[in-house]
Amino acid sequence: MKREELKAVLKAQKELYVKPDDRILFVVDEGYKNAPIGEIFAGYEHQIVHIPQIERPGQDYELNKKFLENKTLAWLIASVSISHSPMSVKMMEWGMFLISNPGISPDWLAILDPQNREVCRERAETILKAIGGDIGGAFMINANDGTNLWLKIPSKNWIKETGEREGFGTNGPYGELATAPFWAKGTYVLRPGDFATNPLNEIKEEIRLTIEENQVVKIEGESQAKTLQEMLEKAGNPKAYSLGEFALGINPGRPSRVYRSVIAEKLKGGIHIAIGTNALCLQETCPELDKFQYGRYNAGVHIDCIKFSASVTFISRERTDVPVTILKKGEFVV
Ligand SMILES: [Fe+2]
């Protein structure tokens, strides 16, 4: 990672999220030893702790509680993502806002541009208005690669990630409207050019997922499919196979090249489901928690599977006679 790129990303995030009276804990791994923290955050109360570089899944680190006391913001400059690390979840439960940066690459700045914020906010509002508000219902996802998936989602659980300092934190770049399904059935296909969570990243050969009762029951494909299977097996938890997210990408930024899934999942017109942890996409306040087989859980793994060019239609529980098409072959029609 070039020092200048890293500096630009940290400055962009500072502009988006930091308040003048924040007390910041930086958690830095060996890969980002050169982060110019002192230079950018002179004048802010902050502390830096170093952790080793760790691989996922089962990615975790331990922090002494004394580091967390009195801090308002935790800033991970480390290859660990919010959703893979129980320690990060603990910090959020502690009430700190968490910024995580899993794999900073040159495509980040196009997404972090503060000008994208307003566009994301408007897009999120437009979608919610079109489907009838924060309401329960069913999504139908189709694509000409054999994707044909039904998902059911609860009421009062949409999460808008639009570059604002709200909620529990952000996974670096912003720009999605997310919720969690409690039921899903069908086939979801990733094609070359689609993305999945690191280390898979850009999909090179087709991966075909068969989903029943909200669980991935079959993974077909070549070597990347095998990697995906191994990631889930390593989690050593039956909940790891459960779908923990459904989201729409809403950020208008267009990087000249997409390096990482964490960027791909924000791009306008893309969609993703995630296999594993739903605790980041299912809010404690959701009145329909009892519909979820495992409730709100952390499975130690959360693998985003991002598709472009899908068509998405929503059928509200209250207005089953009026299906609303949101995306047609990857283009918003609302
Ligand atoms: Fe997401």
CATH number assigned to the domain comprising residue 32? 3.40.50
Task: Summarize the confidence of residues 112-121 as an average pLDDT.
Answer: 94
139 C-alpha to ligand 1 centroid (Å): 16
- Average pLDDT of the residues in 271-281: 95
Q: What is the mean pLDDT of residues 276-290?
A: 95
Give the residue-averaged pLDDT of 199-216: 97
Q: How confident is the model at residue 300 (pLDDT cuts 50, 70, 90)?
A: confident
Statement to judge: residues 32 and 147 lie in one domain: no
CA of 130 to the centre of ligand 1 (A): 20
Residue 88 near residue 100 (C-beta atoms within 8 A): yes
110 within a domain of the structure (yes/no): no
Mark which of 78, 104, 130 sits at the end of a domain: 104
Please determine, for residue 270, whether its predicted confidence score (pLDDT) is greater than 70.
yes
Q: How far is the CA of 236 from the centre of ligand 1 (A)?
A: 22
Residue 57: pLDDT above 60?
A: no
Q: What's the pLDDT score for residue 3?
A: 84
Q: What is the mean pLDDT of the chain?
A: 92
> Ligand 1 mean position to 42 CA, how many Å?
33
In this structure, are 120 and 100 located in the same domain? no
Q: How far apart are CA 51 and CA 108, in angstroms?
A: 23
C-alpha–C-alpha distance, residues 273 and 247, integer Å: 6
In a domain, 29, yes or no: yes
- Between the CA of 262 and the centroid of ligand 1 the distance, in Å, is 8
- Of 81, 104, 127, which closes a domain? 104
Q: How many CA atoms lie within 13 A of 186 on its CB side?
A: 19
Does residue 181 form part of some domain? yes
Between the CA of 3 and the centroid of ligand 1 the distance, in Å, is 28
How far apart are alpha carbons 121 and 160 in whole angstroms?
A: 8
pLDDT reading at 56 higher than 60: no
Task: Read off the tokens for 157.
Answer: 């659980």
How many angstroms separate the alpha carbon of residue 148 from the centre of ligand 1? Answer: 20
Q: What is the DSSP letter of 13?
A: H
**Checking DSSP bridges between strand 73-77 and strand 23-29, what pairing results, if any?**
parallel
CA of 274 to the centre of ligand 1 (A): 7
CA separation for the pair 246, 115 (Å, rounded): 25
Average pLDDT for 115-140: 96
pLDDT, one tens digit per residue, over 149-162 is 999 999 999 999 99
- Which structural domain, as residue segments, surrounds residue 15? 3-104
- Judgement on whether residues 151 and 43 belong to the same structural domain of the protein: no
Burial class (CB within 10 angstroms; exposed 0-12, middle 13-18, buried 19+) of 7: middle
Q: Which residues contact 119 (CB under 8 A, 6 or more apart)?
A: 250, 251, 252
Q: What is the pLDDT of residue 89?
A: 77
Please check whether residues 99 and 121 belong to one and the same domain: no
Task: Tell me: do 127 and 78 sit in the same domain.
Answer: no
Based on the domain organization, do 27 and 129 belong to the same domain? no
d(CA 12, CA 9): 5
Q: Is residue 65 part of a domain?
A: yes
Ligand 1 centroid – CA 246 distance (Å):
7
C-alpha of residue 174 to centroid of ligand 1, in Å: 9
Q: Which phi and psi (to 5°) does residue 302 adopt?
A: -155, 100
- Pair (34, 132) in one structural domain: no
Q: Please give the Cα distance from 295 to 326 (Å, whole number).
A: 28
One domain, residues 171 and 31: no
Report if residue 261 sits inside a domain: yes
Prediction pTM value: 0.88
Provide mean pLDDT across the span 233-240: 94
More confident of the two residues 29 and 126: 126
Cα–Cα distances (Å) from 333 to 135, 175, 250, in that order, read 19, 18, 13
Distance between Cα 27 and ligand 1 center (Å)? 22
Name the residue among 333, 218, 334 with its Cα closest to residue 275: 218
Residue 319 CA, ligand 1 centroid: distance in Å: 26
Tell whether 111 is covered by a domain. Answer: no
| 90, 125: one domain | no
Q: What is residue 171's predicted lDDT score, i.e. its pLDDT?
A: 79
| CA 244 to ligand 1 center in whole angstroms | 9
Please check whether residues 95 and 179 belong to one and the same domain.
Answer: no
Statement to judge: residues 181 and 277 lie in one domain: yes
Distance of alpha carbon 285 from alpha carbon 274, whole angstroms: 21
- The span from the CA of 279 to the CA of 319, in Å, is 28
Q: What is the mean pLDDT of residues 98-126?
A: 92
Domain termination residue (choose one: 37, 72, 104) = 104
Give 48's contacts (C-beta < 8 A, 6+ positions apart): 26, 28, 37
Q: Model confidence at 80, in pLDDT bands (50, 70, 90)?
A: confident
Q: At 305, phi and psi to the nearest 5?
A: -120, 105
Distance 280 CA to ligand 1 centre (A): 9
Residue 82 pLDDT: 67
**pLDDT confidence band for 23 (50 / 70 / 90):** very high
**Residue 217 pLDDT > 90:** yes
Are 79 and 139 found together in one domain? no
Q: How confident is the model at residue 52 (pLDDT cuts 50, 70, 90)?
A: confident
**Does the residue 229 lie in any domain?**
yes
Which pLDDT tens digit goes with each residue over 193-203? 999 998 899 99
Domains: count for the chain: 2
Give the pLDDT band of residue 93 (cuts 50, 70, 90). Answer: confident
CA 52–ligand 1 middle distance (angstroms): 26
Closest CA to 103 of 61, 55, 40: 55
**Is residue 27 one of the residues assigned to a domain?**
yes
Ligand 1 center to 70 CA (angstroms): 29
